[in-house]
Structure formats: C-alpha cells, structure tokens
Amino acid sequence: MRFAATICVLLVATGCGDPSTPTSPSTTPPSTAPAGATLSRLEVGPSSVLGGETTRATVTLSAPAPASGVAIALSASGTTATVPSSLTIPAGETSATFDIVTTRVATTTEVTITAQTGGVTRTASLRLRIDPASVRPSANYTIGFSGLRDNRAAVPTYTESGFTISPVSAEWVGITTYGNPLPSLQFFALGGTVTGEVRITADGSPFWLRSVDFYSSVTRIPYVIEGFLSGEPVFTQLEVLGNTFGAFVRVPSSRPDAPVDVLLIRLSNPMPPGVTGSNPMGIDNIVLNR
C-alpha cells in the first residue's frame, strides 16, 4: 500500500488532483498602492553598526509617487533600534531615506527593519555589534574541565562557569588521568597531521582570553588562536611551540585587552607518519575574564 500512496501524491502534485479542490488562499493582501508605484526596495546601509550608532535606510518605489505622495509604515524588531513610525515619499519622487537610531548592546543583535505600504512589505536586516569600548571585564574564570568525569569519553560540548567549549574538528575526549591538574581535554593523531579545534563562547557575551595551557606528548605544538567579536576578526595568534615532552606549557594571549564573543583554538597534532602509536595533544586551564 505504501507504493500506491506514493504514486497518488506524485500525481496530485503534478496536476492530477481533483480540479474542484480549492486552492489555498493567497497570503498577500490586496494592494492599495497607486498603480505603477509599489514599494520595490528597502535597503539599510551600513547594515552592520556598533550598537549606539545611527545608520540610514532607503525605501524605493517602482515608479514616481503620485500627487498625494506615498505613505510608508516603518517598524523595527526588538527594542535596540528605533525608526520613525512612517514617512511619506513626496510626489514625483521614487525614494526617501530615514535614520535608524540604535542603542548599545550586550550581545550581537540582529534587527529586522520593515517597510509596508499598499499591502507590500519589504524587510532588511541590521546587525548591531558589541562596542568593545563599552564593555569591561569584572571576574576571572579558569576552565579546568573539572566536570569531565569519564576517562576517554567523547566530549561533544562542555560547559563550565558559563562558558561553552564545543569541538569543531577532531574527536576530543576527557582525560581524567592527565592534566594540569587533572583532568584535561585532548585529541589524538595516529599518523600525519590532524587538526583539532574547539570553539569557546559565553552565550554571546563578550569575554577576554588571558592564557591557555597546551600539551603534546611527543611533538611540537603548532597552534592558532582566533578571536572574533560580533562576527568580526579581532586577533589571530599563530605559533609553533617546541616539544615539551609531555609537559603543559602556558600560552599567554597576545590580546588580553581585546573582548571577543567567539574564540577558536586550533591545534595541529603533527604525529609523523609511520610512527607507532598515537600522539595525545590537549588543552587545560583556559583563563578568561568576563
């Protein structure tokens, strides 16, 4: 019977259905816009600003406004951006601009600006970025992975002190038999170079990296640390540490003064091909401010 049902669905979808079946009602209400002058575009530029800055938007008609002008209703989602409730495009004009006033934001905020007239709605996106000058650290945290209880258990995501550490590449496991102190977060390479990456966030809030401890059993430690704030790169730190022969080494941040809301730590585990066994490489003691 499953085959029969499939056939019917396909045939109905291609026009075999009962022609008397009513079609679904249109979701677009009837247009009241003057003939030949519909709302064709809404553009915000710049479309990404620091919260607290003012940006501008432009509404454009498809044809010059009639003698009475065209009134356009405006709105913004949320409470962090303010637009005039309406504007009028004067007779003979095809566009008008208006200001969008924003407020400072604690997390990156996406705002939808909406313009509506004659049953036609246009939307545009505005990103409000965190102003780094407006945030200050108030507390210190050390992520020591104390919540990892099961040795060699995969860690899909880990949360401690409000920070979330999510593996991006390679399989990261909790190691309860080694750490600085125990436990630590590690991944392994059997042969060749394997990239292991973790992503650190704090629910969108800004934070500061002070230092992180790295470990490799038998190899040098090539690493990259990248910090982002509101999707914009803030800093990149790239280095190859020498072989520590199994000891943890503390790496201070090159930008402890720079707030970020996403931190990526990428380790290259360079186990030479043909070498027997696997090389563990790990992270411990991520010192952060928030």
Q: Shortest Cβ distance from residue 182 to other proteins (Å)?
A: 27
Q: Which is nearer to other proteins, 190 or 247 (CB)?
A: 190
Options 42, 111, 130, 194; binder of other proteins; rule CB under 8 A: 194
Torsion of the alpha carbons at 111, 115, 120 and 126, rounded to the nearest 10: -30
Residues 6+ apart with CB under 8 A from 118: 31, 32, 33, 34, 38, 39, 70
184 part of the interface to other proteins, by CB under 8 A: no
CB of 164 to other proteins, least distance (A): 18
The answer to whether 285 touches 142, Cβ cutoff 8 Å, is: yes
Instruction: Collapse the DSSP code of 77 into the 3-class scheme (helix H, G, I; strand E, B; otherwise coil) and give the result.
Output: coil
Per CB under 8 A, 123 contacts other proteins:
no
Q: Which of 36, 236, 242, 256 binds other proteins (CB under 8 A)?
A: 236
- Token match 């095809």: residue? 94
Q: Rounded CA gap, 60 and 47, in Å? A: 17
Q: Classify residue 145 as left (phi > 0), alpha (psi -120 to 50) or beta.
A: left
Task: State which amino acid sits at residue 231.
Answer: G
Per-residue x/- marks for other proteins, 239-268, CB under 8 A?
xx-------------------------x-x
Which of the ranges 69-77, 143-151, 165-173, 278-286 carries the binding residues for other proteins, by CB under 8 A? 165-173
Which of 119, 192, 242, 246 binds other proteins (CB under 8 A)? It is: 192
Which residues lie near other proteins (CB under 8 A)? 1-5, 7-8, 11-12, 16, 168-170, 192-197, 222-224, 226, 236, 238-240, 266, 268, 270
